[in-house]
């Protein structure tokens, strides 16, 4: 039995967190501690699912976050391998790096929020309010992440600038991947809900600066969470 296989059949430490957070924390601890060494192949999804008593979809969430942090790499037809034992580089989220997103987003989303305050319709505001209400009540991690993507798209749409809306739609997949990883690693969901509420309050106020400032605060918090991953 290999080291990774023996680790897979041992019992993880119980923690108070979501299933995906628990799987990710277990994997990251095993990699950082050397229980899963650089170059070793991770156990099959079925073995990881049995170890934690969760579905394979939960395992895939955690594995995506490990890959995004640069700890693992999935090779088609061969499996997922440990490539680093600590976070040393930029967060990799699909077609973009976190650095690229964080450099671009303020130039699009801050003015979009401001214009949404000035240009939104009653229907736009109702959509945003409904989304934040649903996010606050949502317990399912993946469902919350999907709503997060819808929220940022709805802000851009309410701003009535089709160029900015098209940009957000284009990068929405990367935004969702980033949100998924930060929620697992930095447990950002509760604070994101609070920040989203402030953005909607700014849009409701009709005041450009209030909405723009609320979006800037949110993006600053996201940037801080991303930067904390490699410390």
Count CB atoms within 10 A of the CB of residue 145: 24
DSSP 53: T
- Per residue in 186-202, pLDDT (tens digit) is 778 889 999 999 999 99
pLDDT-derived band at 137, boundaries 50, 70, 90: very high
pLDDT-derived band at 84, boundaries 50, 70, 90: confident
Per-residue pLDDT, 7: 55
pLDDT-derived band at 209, boundaries 50, 70, 90: very high
| pTM score | 0.74
The rounded distance, in Å, linking the Cα atoms of 25 and 58 is 13
- Per residue in 122-134, pLDDT (tens digit) is 999 999 999 999 9
Mean pLDDT across the chain: 87
The rounded distance, in Å, linking the Cα atoms of 201 and 217 is 13
The rounded distance, in Å, linking the Cα atoms of 183 and 185 is 6
Residue 2 confidence (pLDDT) above 80: no
pLDDT-derived band at 220, boundaries 50, 70, 90: very high
- Per residue in 145-185, pLDDT (tens digit) is 899 999 999 999 999 999 999 999 999 988 988 888 787 77
- Identity of the highest mean pLDDT range in 38-52, 65-79, 111-125: 111-125
Which residue segments constitute the domains of the chain, with CATH numbers given? Answer: 19-82 (1.10.10.10), 98-228 (1.20.120.530)
The rounded distance, in Å, linking the Cα atoms of 91 and 100 is 10
Residue 88 confidence (pLDDT) above 70: no
Residue 69 burial (C-beta neighbours within 10 Å; 0-12, 13-18, 19+) = buried
Per-residue pLDDT, 15: 40
pLDDT-derived band at 90, boundaries 50, 70, 90: low
The rounded distance, in Å, linking the Cα atoms of 118 and 44 is 52
User: Which residue, among 25, 40, 35, has the nearest Cα to 73 in the 3D structure?
Assistant: 40
Residue 14 confidence (pLDDT) above 80: no
């Amino acid at each position: 039995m290999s080291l990774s296989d023996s680790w897979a059949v041992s019992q993880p430490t119980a923690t108070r967190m979501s299933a995906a957070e628990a799987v990710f924390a277990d994997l990251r601890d095993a990699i950082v501690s050397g229980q899963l060494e650089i170059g070793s192949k991770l156990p099959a999804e079925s073995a990881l699912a049995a170890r934690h008593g969760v579905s394979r979809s939960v395992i895939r969430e955690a594995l995506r976050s490990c890959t995004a942090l640069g700890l693992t790499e999935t090779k088609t037809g061969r499996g997922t391998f440990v490539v680093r034992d600590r976070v040393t580089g930029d967060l990799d989220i699909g077609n973009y790096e976190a650095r690229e997103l964080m450099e671009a987003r303020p130039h699009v989303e801050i003015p979009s929020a401001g214009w949404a305050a000035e240009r939104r319709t009653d229907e736009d505001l109702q959509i945003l309010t409904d989304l934040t209400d649903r996010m606050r009540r949502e317990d399912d991690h993946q469902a919350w992440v999907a709503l997060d993507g819808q929220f940022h798209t709805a802000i851009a749409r309410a701003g009535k600038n089709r160029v900015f809306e098209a940009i957000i739609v284009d990068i929405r997949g990367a935004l969702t991947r980033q949100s998924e990883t930060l929620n697992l690693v930095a447990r950002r969901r509760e604070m994101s809900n609070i920040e989203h509420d402030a953005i909607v309050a700014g849009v409701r106020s009709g005041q450009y600066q209030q909405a723009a400032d609320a979006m800037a605060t949110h993006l600053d918090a996201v940037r801080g969470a991303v930067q904390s991953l490699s410390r």
